């Protein structure tokens, strides 16, 4: 009888070690996958921010009583979209900020809803890609 119980003990120890190895593999694989995925997303966002750039070329009104328009040049290497505009650090509404997309090297016009930009006002425009431009109207 003693020989049988030592065989059973050996099989049980082997099964325990195999199951612990399997659990360790699953645990470390899930950690590696999570870290890799978040790292790839972070690197992708960082590269997009580094490659984005814009410049406000002008802020103008067609007539003194019409809302202002902002001409933006994409100076980066990625498309710019989803613009937000600010006058003197206060958010202002745009007519086409969510639908306007400007390709690299091109100029787009951001139309403001009701705001008239006056001399000395600071205008800031940001994009979803991380580009920011500041302009003070002379």
The CATH architecture annotation of domain 52-136 reads Sandwich (2.60)
Q: Average pLDDT, whole number, for the chain?
A: 87
Distance CA 74, CA 55 (A): 7
pLDDT score recorded for residue 97: 80
Task: List pLDDT tens digits, range 25-45.
Answer: 999 888 888 888 888 888 888
Show the low-confidence residues of the chain (pLDDT under 70). 1-4
pLDDT score recorded for residue 4: 67
In the chain, what are the domain boundaries? 1-51, 52-136
pLDDT score recorded for residue 23: 92
Distance CA 113, CA 116 (A): 9
pTM score, whole prediction = 0.70
Alpha helices (H) along 52-97: none
């Amino acid at each position: 009888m003693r020989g049988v119980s030592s065989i059973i003990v050996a099989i049980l120890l082997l099964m325990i070690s195999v199951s612990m190895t399997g659990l360790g593999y699953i645990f470390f694989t899930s950690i590696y996958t999570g870290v890799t995925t978040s790292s790839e997303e972070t690197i992708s966002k960082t590269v997009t921010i580094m490659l984005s750039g814009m410049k406000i070329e002008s802020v103008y009104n067609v007539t003194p009583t019409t809302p202002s328009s902002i001409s933006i040049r994409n100076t980066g290497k990625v498309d710019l979209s989803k613009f937000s505009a600010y006058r003197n650090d206060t958010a202002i509404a745009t007519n086409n900020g969510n639908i306007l997309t400007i390709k690299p090297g091109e100029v787009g016009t951001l139309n403001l809803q009701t705001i008239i930009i006056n001399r000395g006002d600071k205008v800031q425009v940001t994009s979803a890609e991380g580009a920011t431009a500041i302009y003070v109207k002379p």
